[in-house]
Amino acid sequence: MRTGFTHQFMLMRENEAKKEDHSNTTDHLELRAETCPIYLNIINVYRTNTCGELRIENVGQNVTLAGWVQRTRKMGGMTFVDLRDRYGITQLVFNEEKNADLCAQANKLGREYVIQVTGEVNERYSKNANIPTGDIEIIVSKLVVLNASQTPPFTIEENTDGGDDLRMKYRYLDLRRSNVRANLELRHKFCLAVRHFLDSKGFLEIETPVLVGSTPEGARDFVVPSRMNPGQFYALPQSPQTLKQLLMVAGMDRYFQIVKCFRDEDLRADRQPEFTQIDCEMSFVQQDDIINVFEEMTKHLFKELRGVDLGDTPFLRLSWKEAMRRFGSDKPDMRFGMEFVELKDIFTGKADFAVFNDAAYIGGICAEGCAVYTRKQVDELTNFVKSQQVGAKGLVYARIQEDGSVKSSVDKFYSQEVLQEMKEAFNAKPGDLILILSGEDANKTRKQLCELRLLMGERLGLRDKNKFALLWVVDFPMFEWSDEEGRLMAMHHPFTSPKPCDIEKLDSDPASVLADAYDMVCNGVEVGGGSIRIHDAVLQAKIFKVLGFTPEKAQEQFGFLMNAFKYGAPPHGGLAYGLDRFVSLFAGLDSIRDCIAFPKNNSGRDVMLDAPGFVDQTQLDELHLVIKHPEA
């Protein structure tokens, strides 16, 4: 029924089109090529131009446009309609005096109706400098309603009145908003630029499977039951890590893939259960070779897509240890200073203050000009560091007075002399506020101080979204201790190569072994990370041993990789960028969701599709699955 109707409708439109005069067709095309960033180069039944295309040069032309009704305004005898499509907005004019019937039809148009109009391009009396088509309007002579629309649940404009949940439920309407659509356009251009760049460097884009085996290391897997192999499961890849290494064994030399990855983790603003990586791998390379290629690519992307010139100088490189010491983070936000100053030597044993005397770490930051903070503001900071999110026990503060003296919350313990020594360590000036944390676990305290530094950076307006500070964090530890697992875990992943000079310490002191691993960091966000890989079966087996695998278990889980290494594996390494994060950084977004067409919410649900959902008993039977608590 529906198909029949559509067919009939198309025929009708085609006949109408045949009747239309297209004598100025070529003019249109030439004009569009010259003046418009996007032109479709198609003149069909529905339109001769897009809604973002017409300019003052087109005045006098007869055009046909199709799109959505954004707004209708009735002013005296005139009705104005903003017609929108992906390319822009064009104003339509209906004049009651000239054509009362047509104007009456226009007055009946609701928001988001899909219409087609034909008319003459006219120079506007009152121009709108805010939109590219603002110099012109269309004096409509013909109107066809292609489809009606219910009133949308929120306004489809840049500043919408729709809340998050509603917008997600009707994401297809949300995507009509120009700012959301612009994020997807940027994402498209980003991927295109990546593909061109990597292609020019000899990388091949190769697809790897989405149904793979479950691996025990890393995050939790999403699993998929296999109907043909009862009781067995595929896993969705957390990354194509081992597969891209096998492509290197296969001699592909340079691989990349813009690829979906899946991790069943708790979600945050910058995490989605499925996300996209720009995954890359290269053969016959050392760390510097990889850093050079991807630094060049990153500079290229910034220039092409943001118009930001990151200069010729190489990105800063910080060792993991230094990053932790100076900023308490392996992804420091380098848009601003406020580096940590360690105060243990200054305070320990100088007074009867157990909090400092018993601390493994005492460190602080200096917030310029913040001595004016009121008691209430300082209390807010104290509450912040004591919150569950940060977890510190308390905050010590010191104001530098106009006369240079120090007034602090620990005045009753420390002499002015000690406090002056502290002031010197920060190089603090009158008007500055020093904020100090201490704790028994040095790394934990540094991380807490990092949170405070980021908050102060935010408050002082130092985290400008249009400023980009990129660096590499290198020399990561190979392993980190996991209290939960009660064993060492690979800090990057188990395929990462230890630094050759540290291999001999794998047995005696594995915790001190450093890895050939590197992260690219931008504005406090890890945008990419990778490593030089192990390409030797014996060394790989050794790493699994340090990680607590029995030889049998290692063989069972990763035999395919270690066996491949026995057939001439080249030295290789690579990295992966988080595409969603990178694009949202480029677009200055707070959440990666805004650059994903159909994202999941914080509980991992797609509220538009209402997924995940239950499946039929027949499906469960076919999969040999029994749900233990169907009512739960």
Tokens standing for 160?
Answer: 């919408």
The least distance separating ligand ASP from the CB of residue 574, rounded to whole angstroms, comes to 5
Cβ nearer to ligand ASP, comparing 115 with 575 = 575
**Minimum separation from the CB atom of position 219 to ligand ASP (A):** 10
Sequence length of the chain is 632
Least distance between ligand ASP and beta carbon 260 (Å) = 12
Choice between 67 and 237, CB closer to ligand ASP: 237
CB 183 within 8 A of CB 595: yes
Toward ligand ASP, which CB reaches closer, 530 or 599?
530
- Give least dist CB 326 to ligand ASP, A: 24
Round to whole Å and give the CA distance between 532 and 502: 14
CA within 13 Å, CB half, 165: 2
CA distance 435 to 381: 9
Rounded-to-integer distance, Cα 119 and Cα 503, Å:
76
| Pick from 305, 306, 261: nearest CA to 493 | 261
Give the position of tokens 């013909």: 142
Q: Which residues contact 501 (CB under 8 A, 6 or more apart)?
A: none
- CB nearer ligand ASP, residue 39 or residue 476: 476
Residue 166 or 489 having the CB closest to ligand ASP: 489
Kindly tell me which of 173 and 521 has the beta carbon lying closer to ligand ASP. Answer: 521
d(C-alpha 527, C-alpha 514), whole Å? 21
d(C-alpha 18, C-alpha 9), whole Å: 14
Which pairing describes strands 88-95 and 136-147: parallel, antiparallel, or unpaired?
A: parallel
Nearer of residues 439 and 530 to ligand ASP, judged by Cβ: 530
Phi and psi torsions of 411, nearest 5°: -55, -35
Minimum distance, C-beta of residue 530 to ligand ASP, in the bound complex (Å) = 4
Query: Residue 259: helix, strand or coil by DSSP?
Result: strand
Q: Which two tokens stand for residue 437?
A: 């944390």
Nearer to ligand ASP, 364 or 529 (CB): 529
Q: Which is nearer to ligand ASP, 449 or 520 (CB)?
A: 520
Residue numbers at the binding site for ligand ASP (CB under 6 A) = 239, 241, 529-531, 574-576
CB of 310: closest distance to ligand ASP in angstroms? 22
CB 131 → ligand ASP: shortest distance, Å?
42
Task: Say how many Å lie between the first and final Cα of the chain, rounded.
Answer: 42
Cite the DSSP H helix spans in 149-258: 164-169, 171-174, 178-200, 241-249
Listed residue (553, 539, 458, 457) closest to 504, CA to CA: 539
Please, what is the minimum distance in Å from the beta carbon of residue 278 to ligand ASP?
10
Q: Shortest approach of ligand ASP to residue 294 CB, angstroms?
A: 11
